Amino acid sequence: MHSFRYQGGSLHCEDTNLESLAREHGTPLYVYSKATILDHYRRLAAGMSELDCLICFATKANSNIAVLNLLAEEGAGFDIVSAGELFRVEKAGGDPGKCTFAGVAKTRKEIEYALDRGIFSFNAESEAEVRHINEIAGEKGVKAPIAFRVNPNVDAKTHAKITTGKSGNKFGVDFDLVRDAYARAAELPNIEVRGLQMHIGSQLTTVNPFVEAVEKVGPLVEELKSNYGIEFFSIGGGIGIVYEDSLDSGDLDWWSQGQNRALTIEQYSEKLVPLLKPLGLKIILEPGRYMVGNAGVLLTEVVYEKQGTTKTFKIIDAGMNDLIRPTLYEGHHDIVPVKEPSGTKTEIVDIVGPVCESGDFFAQNRELPSVDEGDLIAVLSAGAYGFVMASNYNSRPFPAEILIDGETAHVIRARQSFDDLIAGETIPA
């Protein structure tokens, strides 16, 4: 479900008119729907209700503390990839005892911080990391809970830059080496072996790679349970979302429309719960994109139109520094006018930003309803890996972020000022 639809000729998020919102707060502007985020969380929790399941939101997908707070209030845990994310989670009211810490390069400072805060588990990506954690835990006189991230060597069949579970990827410990890694870790005096984790990739649009990975790793999990008494098995995140024709489904329940669209929670739970339940362990899920992707849009204004000999460019006031997915992952985002198109007039256009890079585009050779200079457009499904990947490149201040709750718009991050841009910089005397 998502909460973006036309009402009275203008795109709305829940009961808020996005035309008025953009005129009030300026563009580019990120807008998130509270109802959509909560719906996604509750839908997944319901699908997994037969399991002892902890949903650890992948903080990196959208780490605004207001978004984290919504999920913390629902009882979610958090998958973090840095000490900075753990800081955010706590500021948002999240429980460090429900945090798992992923990442291939955890530093001494980060390990110390996470130990002090009492996280649920370090999901370790190498034996060297576990030796390091053991040493630091020893200095503090504590036992550190760890799991290894296993690389199951299955093909997630997603974009190369978001595939993580093949043996050629830098993530996790190779499936064939992980038993020995556990045996050595269990010998370390300051380590408590608590679980096993995997995460095979992002934006998976069928359940099959998850099934393949769980079937492959399941027997190992049972072995580790009997040898070391592990408590949990995390199957990672990666649930894919709809990026195309996402508005057409309006407020219809697209998750149950199924059929070559996104992976539905029904398909996901129907296949996975029967495989996971017999393990008799706490199951952890680490969804990021699923939770917030379709819950956000980026509003932007058409600044100029430029007719070339071969192309028509619509130049907008948002750039790749605000949303990098199109150029980084060849990510498709639907783009719609905020004012509901009255006719059927369309044009084949490139939607490009102001940044001095040819990679600064949002759509190429795309047929879109005609829009004029000064019109607002919405880049859909921008709630995950959107603002969090923004930079100040070209000295462009970060956009503001708004959380919509019905008719109420909360500014959850103020637009940066020029002074913010140079904060911390000094000219040597």
Ligand X SMILES: *Cc1c(COP(=O)(O)O)cnc(C)c1O
Instruction: Enumerate the active-site residues.
Output: 356
Q: In whole angstroms, how close is the CB of 290 to ligand X at the nearest point?
A: 6
Pick 171 or 182: Cβ nearer ligand X: 171
Residue 164 in contact with residue 210, Cβ under 8 Å?
no
Q: Residue 92 carries which DSSP code?
A: T
Residues that bind ligand X (CB under 6 A): 58, 60-61, 79, 81, 102, 199, 202, 236-239, 286-290
Residue 121 in contact with residue 145, Cβ under 8 Å?
yes
Pick 41 or 361: Cβ nearer ligand X: 41
d(CA 429, CA 426): 9
Pick 30 or 101: Cβ nearer ligand X: 101
**Of 207, 201, 191, 210, which is closest to residue 147 (Cα–Cα)?**
191
Q: In whole angstroms, how close is the CB of 81 to ligand X at the nearest point?
A: 6
Q: List the structure tokens of 162.
A: 């978001």
Pick 288 or 331: Cβ nearer ligand X: 288
Residues 6+ apart with CB under 8 A from 196: 147, 148, 150, 217, 220, 221, 224, 230, 232, 233, 234
Pick 11 or 284: Cβ nearer ligand X: 284
Instruction: Write the CA distances from 147 to 27, 59, 104, 176, 233, integer angstroms.
Output: 43, 19, 13, 16, 9
Q: In whole angstroms, how close is the CB of 101 to ligand X at the nearest point?
A: 9
Q: In whole angstroms, how close is the CB of 423 to ligand X at the nearest point?
A: 29
Residues 6+ apart with CB under 8 A from 37: 67, 70, 71, 291, 292, 295, 383
Q: List the structure tokens of 265.
A: 């929670």
Please name the residue ranges forming H helices in 333-397: none
Q: In whole angstroms, how close is the CB of 229 to ligand X at the nearest point?
A: 23
Question: Facing residues of 404 across strands?
Answer: 33, 409
